[in-house]
Structure formats: structure tokens, C-alpha cells
Structure 1
Amino acid sequence: MSSNGYMITFGIIEVLFSQIPDFDQIWWLSIVAAVMSFTYSTVGLALGIAKVAENGSIKGSLTGISIGMITHAGTVTSTQKMWRSLQALGAIAFAYSFSIILIEIQDTIKSPPAEHKTMKKATLLSITVTTVFYLLCGCMGYAAFGDEAPGNLLTGFGFYNPYWLLDIANIAIVVHLVGAYQVYCQPLFAFVEKWSAKRWSKSDFVTAEYDIPIPFCGVYQINFFRLVWRTIFVALTTLIAMLMPFFNDVVGILGAFGFWPLTVYFPTEMYIAQKKIGRWTSRWLGLQILSMVCLFISIAAAVGSVAGVVLDLKTYKPFKTSY
């Protein structure tokens, strides 16, 4: 079966949600997405534990997938294992590439207490919960399936009983991705539109807002530039997804390129500047070492993920092969 129909449907939904003007107006969508994330993660974790109990043993090994293992992509070689291991670093990094939305969130929360205090608590809590959940899901999934563990944990359970539990988890994934798309894209939308409004301040196409009354919902302010550019953006991302349906590889690439500069380098440099930390002091050296280690991790993850895409492209036919 082809997944193109699902991708097109997802793109149409995102075109509609992308017309929400501002980041602060999608708070409800963000909450729904977070609840959905907890839902499918909990289901996956519970089914993983149940599968381990059913097997009566823990599958897999400390060294990961076995050389010579036959997968959908062919026999696993030592080179492929190395690329996939590096790609996994990118997938992990992607889970922490939240820095792009931190400033937007801080800009929309109420005070008192001071915004930075609220953000510090929220960031600590979110990182802790994310790490615990992902580690548990990853470890229990590997313990349940071993070398045959799928990229999407839920697909490994097949027609597991109760069926409705898997249905709920898969629906939760779809709803979560709809919300996550908006949470990550709205800051980009806002940046482009603010820059365009300054660049073409006298253009009605770019700056003018028109009121459209919507029954039972009030008045919606439409901006033609926002409508056109956001629609084109969603259409392009949908087309790219259809051209490259390699979820784990693409996630690894995005994580690799976004993790170090946005999550590590810029925050570290801003902290050094704000606290006036002197060069070659112990704290400055510690922060620079941390930054360099994360840079090497990002480079390794990028290499592995790109290699993974290259391997996939050898057996892939655009708009025909489904992954």
C-alpha cells in the first residue's frame, strides 16, 4: 500500500490549521498534542512490558542488532550497523530540538512570576519527563522485540489484543503530529511575516487584514500573504515527505542539524555573555567542552542519517515505494 493518500490528507489538515494567525492562539492545540504524546507513549510502554512478560525473557543484546540479520532493507552489514547507530544519535537529538520554540513560549506566558523562572521550571520538568518516557519506551521495545524491533514501536505488535488499544494509540500519534507541526512551524511563520511586513510595509497584499465573519465563531482576520505563503510552505513540506518517506532517516537529519546550533551553541554563548564568564576559567572551559562534544555528536548523526537516506534511495522509487 502507498502512504501518499495519508500524507496528502495530513497536508490538507495542516493548511487549515496553519491559517491560525499567532502562536499564542494554538495553546489548546499544544495541550492536545502533549496529551496525545503521553497517550501513545504510555500504550507503547505498557504493551512492551506485556510483550516481555509474554516472552518470558529479554530479547536483544547490549551491542545492538546482530551483523547478518535480515531486515526489509536486506542483510545488515557492519557498515550499515555503524550508519544506523549514528543515525540513532540524530533521532535522540531530535527529541531535544525544542529550543526553536522556547523564546516563543516565553514571549506568551503571563507574569508574575518572572517569565524566566517559569521557563526554567517548565524546561527542567519537560526534559526529565521526555528522557524518562523515551528511555523506557526504547528499552522496553528492544527488550520485547530484540533485533526485530521496528522503527515505529506500535507496528511491532501487529494484531495485538486488545485491538482498540492500538487504534487509540495510532489515532493519538496522528493528532499529536498535527499539533506538533504547528508548534514548530508557527515561530517560522511569524518570523517570515514580520520580516516581510518590514520589507514591503506599503503593500496591502502583505500587511492588510480583512475581517471575515464566521457563524458561531466570531470574526476571522485574513491576510492574503499569510494565506498564500503558508499554503505553499505546507504544500512543499508535504511534497518532500512524499518524495522522501524515510521517517527515521529524515528525523535523524533534522535532529543532527538542529540540535547543536539551536539547543547547545547559541544558549551556551548567550549564557556566557549574560553571566560575563571569563575566558579560560573552569566554567568557561566546561561549557566549551560540552558544546564541542555535542558538535561532534551532531556531525556523526548527520553523517549516519545522510548515509541512511543514500542506502534507502538505492531501492526506492518516488511516489511508489512505501516505508
Structure 2
Amino acid sequence: MPTLQSDRLRVFVTDDGLLSIAVDGWRGFQLANGHATVRHSAGSAKLSARALRRKAEGVAEIVDEFEPGLVVCRRILQPEKGGAVTLEAELSNAAGHAVELEDVRLLDFDRGVSLGEDARHICIYEQGGYWARVRSLRPPTPSAAPTDERDASQAPHTSSSDYVWLAYDRSAGLAILLGFETGDRWTGRMDVSGRAGQMPSTLSAGFSGGRLLVEPGKSVILESMCIMVGDDPWALLCRYGDRVASRHGVRVPEKPPVSWCSWYPYRLGVTEKRVLATAETARRRLAPLGLQYMLLDLGWQKGYLPSSFEENEQFPSGLKALSAELEHMGF
């Protein structure tokens, strides 16, 4: 059983391709028997074979074969310097027909999840497109609420976090972070389920397939993610941000960019004509005040699908022509 270790973090991969995570010094913590899952337009893909194909120093490669011929290859990489373990993946279609992806889970821990010895000491960091929060697993305080409301508080609870998820055990003084380092095609998401005041029973990391059509014999590079451990949860989030910025060559501008976004005034009603009319007004009235960028948000894609790269009928000239016209206006 190969073990990848980075500081306190240890990742184990069994010969049959199951992945488990342990943290030195974190009593009661375990994420056990993690595996990949795929769902396509016909339903959940049935696993036909899974194996640890290649194991070398600092590398483990897991191959999952699903019916009707989908193959997910996951490479778990340990960096030369400590701090994180990286997971990269690729999906191939070996079937004789195209397959429409619905959902891919790179890590699915559907049993064997424990974030410490006492749920009262566990805090979870989650975020979405326009929000972030820290929630405690501490059981709700008993109250004089009606019985049906108290029963509802013990009902199964699910939550999701976009791109990054973190758990911190105050008693152990340790935190673990699961985060996606890329978002080239899909938005990575961590999903957690359990009961209020108790440890999560499941934890998974993956993304919606966006109904992407994978043709026979073709492969798709999936989003990459990392697993990190540290004793300061906020410092861990900063380290994750630095990793993402370094990977994508992000540079912080001297002055914050000033932009206009089509989503707020037009939502899915955005059109080429409306963008150009707004740009003309912005050129005359807002550019002198510092406006630099015109941002075209969701609404230009065929079928309004984020995974589509084909313009719809609301943009008859195409994005290339629109971009050239906006550049001519000074944006």
C-alpha cells in the first residue's frame, strides 16, 4: 500500500484503488475508502474495475473503469516540498458511442468519515459564489420549540462549498483543506451530508458535468485539486490562495480594476445589441471616471449552458467580432 506524506498529512492507496486520509496528531480523524463516481445522462455509471495501476516514489495512479466504457485516471502527486498533496485526473470514453456527462466525483467518501473525537469542537468553512461562512457542528441548544421542529433539526442535513472546503478541530488545533486549483471548465464543489450536531456521514469532491458530450475515443482533462493540512485555518486558506494564484500566474494590479458586468442589468436577456449600446454610453460617460473592462457574463452560450462554447442567436456576429468592436471603443 503506497503512502504519500506531506508534513502531517498521510494519503494511503490500497491495491484495489481505494484512498484514505489520515493526519498525524489529529485523534479521531479519518477519511476512509474514497473512490471516484460518474453519472451520465442514462444514470449512475456502474463500476466495472478499479486498480492501482502505477506506484512510484511520490506518485500513485488509480484507474477506475465504468460501464459503458468510461475510464477515469486519477494521479495523486506528492510535491517535492511538504505542504500539500495534489490530485489530477482525466476521463476517457472507450465506448462505441458518445456519452453525456452529468456529474463526476473525484473523491467520494460515502462511509468512514470522522473529523475528530468530538463534534462540538469542529468548525466548517464553506463558500459559494457570493458568500462564505463558518459553521459549528455543536449540537443545537435545547429549546421549547414544538416537537416537530425539534425533530426537523435532527433530519439529514446537506451542504455544499464551491472550490474550497475546510474543517478545523479546536481541540486538536489542526485543520484540513480540500480545494480545487483549476476551474477551466467546471466549478469544483465539496458536498457534505450528516445530521445536525453530529459528524458528517459523507464527504465528496467533484463537479457537475454540465451535460458535456464526450465523443468516442476522446479524453477530457478534469479539474485538479489539492489536500492540505495545517494548524492555522486562516493561514491554510491563504496558502491555498497562493497555490491557485501561482498556478495561474495571477498578478495583483497596482489599482483595482473597474468593470461593468452584463449579469446585473440583463441576466439571461443580454444581447450583442445591448452590450454595444451600453459600451457606447460607458465610453462617453464612465470611461473618463476609470471604467476599463466590459464583462460579458452568462447568457451568450447556446442553451445558456456554462459548459457550452458556442454563441446563441442573441450574438449573431460572434464573440470575436464583439470583442474587436469593444476593443475599438477602448475597452
Say yes or no: TM over 0.5: no
Q: Which has the higher helix share?
A: 1
User: TM-score, structure 2 length as denominator?
Assistant: 0.21
More strand by share: 2
Query: Larger RCO: Structure 1 or Structure 2 (Cα < 8 Å, ≥ 6 residues apart)?
Result: 1
